[in-house]
Amino acid sequence: EQAEIGLIGLGVMGSNLALNIAEKGNRIAVFNRSPEATRKFFAEAGDLQGQIVPCETLEEFVAAIRPPRPIIIMIKAGEPVDQQMAALKPYLSAGDIMIDAGNANFRDTMRRFDSLKDSDLTFIGMGVSGGEEGARHGPSIMVGGTEESWKRVEKVLTSISAKFNNDPCVAWLGENGAGHFVKTIHNGIEYADMQMIAEIYGILRDGLGMSAQEIGEVFGRWNTGRLNSYLIEITEKVLKAADPVSGEAMVDMIVDRAGQKGTGKWSVIEAQNMGVAATAIEAAVAGRILSSQKSEREAAEKILGLPASADAPKDREVFLADLENALLAAKIGAYAQGFAVMSAASAEFNWNLPMPTIARIWRAGCIIRSQFLDEITSAFTKDPDVNLIVTPAFADMVKETDGALRRVVSYAVLSGLPVPALSSALAYFDAYRRGRGTANLIQAQRDFFGAHGFERVDGLDRPHGPWGSGLSQG
Ligand code: 6PG
């Protein structure tokens, strides 16, 4: 019996995905560049061995799969994917589908998709979220490619995806780069979520002087409320874990320098390309950059010192409630921005991205999974084409929580505690909701020095200013 699907790349993510596929009753052929990894994988597959066809040559691997063959490539993003595709191509036949399941830049995905246009092969760029656990037991899967190629893989992918109330967290989102673009923005939002949580942690640690254990308890409580989500859940666990070496809180033993592999940065670059303000995501990426400049920061602290703290909030419980609401408000801002980037990209690349579906498949399996995304699903099902913050449900939530965000940002700013993502989200609300802004002055300046022209509020045709003529006195 031929395999339903093939998978190349038995690293952590690839192995887990292959086991998930086999466990859900799909026969799968696997291949890894080094055959030892394939043998080891097969030897450890236990009960699932019957569903797995381990292959040591590409020829044997391709022959083991039922045509048209869907072949998942789960290897390091970038150049290796192009090399793997080139090595695979000679063995493939009409209708076969190469599926890149790594965190590819969607522009590479579009290029790869186009490079196969004149052949009878096709390509799917597939975003997979949920880390190792997700890959093994149910990830969220974002598919981009032709609708026909999606039909070929729909059944297998549906069987392995996470489920939210039985609803599978997988969907075909559009042609070519759509899946990888949506995964990129998922990660941009993930960066913002994580940065905002870290900023709140900073206020609790450095403003209120709470221990990791105490802060963990606060997050644990929040996880039972409106912030309920995977990231809040793991934050509690992380904060409560002890270091086996020192006995201290594990988190206190970790150097405050965050890594990044590119998806956050791409979200920001594409937001800028598309002319969308994604300031909370930008702040999160910048936050990681500054975090990595540890020795410079230490030197600057010696030179500049730290500002004095603001007075501690009078009632801690009241302030904790403010922090919870502030995090919710800021989160709304970040998600509104992420969805706005996707909406602009959808128009730019003719993807017709389905916003309610994107929110729907993020409700389980992925890193940003949450109750909140169920509310976004409902909001976009009613109004798919507007900014999230003006949908009725979220407008109410913003009105209810932005006061708390304002108080929290004020406290942090007065205490010299950095809250770049929280304050960006607040500034975004304040700029977005204000009908009359201050760009009239910028337009006047541009006209003054560059004769750029402007529009008049009364609609009169007077495209340039009389600069230097002066207002009449008295
Ligand atoms: C996921 C994660 C996963 C990974 C990213 C982000 O959705 O499962 O986003 O894909 O964590 O690579 O990683 P960096 O923080 O290293 O950029």
Q: Domains of the chain, with CATH numbers? A: 5-176 (3.40.50.720), 185-432 (1.10.1040.10)
Provide the token pair at 460. 């009169």
Distance of CA 318 from the midpoint of ligand 1 (Å)? 35
pLDDT tens digits for 322-366? 999 999 999 999 999 999 999 999 999 999 999 999 999 999 999
Q: What are the angstrom distances between the C-alpha of 434 and each of 228, 276, 279, 431?
A: 31, 17, 17, 6
> Does the beta carbon of 263 lie inside 6 Å of ligand 1?
yes
Distance of CA 80 from the midpoint of ligand 1 (Å)? 18
Q: Which atom of ligand 1 is nearest to the CA of 366?
A: 7
Beta strands 140-144; 122-129: pairing state: antiparallel
Residue minimizing CA distance to atom 14 of ligand 1: 260
Q: Which residues contact 74 (CB under 8 A, 6 or more apart)?
A: 7, 8, 9, 11, 13, 14, 17, 101, 102
Provide the token pair at 216. 């963990």
Run of H or E including 144: strand 140-144
Give the span between the Cα atoms of 427 and 379, in whole angstroms: 23
Give the span between the Cα atoms of 444 and 446, in whole angstroms: 5
Residue minimizing CA distance to atom 4 of ligand 1: 131
Percent of the chain at pLDDT exceeding 90: 95
Give the span between the Cα atoms of 12 and 134, in whole angstroms: 11
> Does the beta carbon of 129 lie inside 6 Å of ligand 1?
yes
Give the span between the Cα atoms of 52 and 71, in whole angstroms: 14
Residue 365 assigned ligand-binding role: no
Name the E strands within 153-246.
163-164, 167-168, 170-174
Taking residues 166-187, what's their average pLDDT? 98
Answering whether pTM is above 0.90, one says: yes
Q: Is the pLDDT of residue 72 over 60?
A: yes
33-46: string of b/e by CB count within 10 Å (b at 16+)? Answer: eeeebbeebbeebe
pLDDT tens digits for 124-155? 999 999 999 999 999 999 999 999 999 999 99
* Residue with token string 């959808």: 346
Distance of CA 191 from the midpoint of ligand 1 (Å)? 9
Q: Is the pLDDT of residue 312 over 90?
A: no
pLDDT tens digits for 226-279? 999 999 999 999 999 999 999 999 999 999 999 999 999 999 999 999 999 999
Distance of CA 100 from the midpoint of ligand 1 (Å)? 16
> Does the beta carbon of 190 lie inside 6 Å of ligand 1?
yes
pLDDT tens digits for 270-297? 999 999 999 999 999 999 999 999 999 9
What pLDDT shows up at residue 472?
Answer: 64
> Does the beta carbon of 260 lie inside 6 Å of ligand 1?
yes
What pLDDT shows up at residue 473?
Answer: 62
ipTM over 0.85: yes
Give the span between the Cα atoms of 54 and 28, in whole angstroms: 9
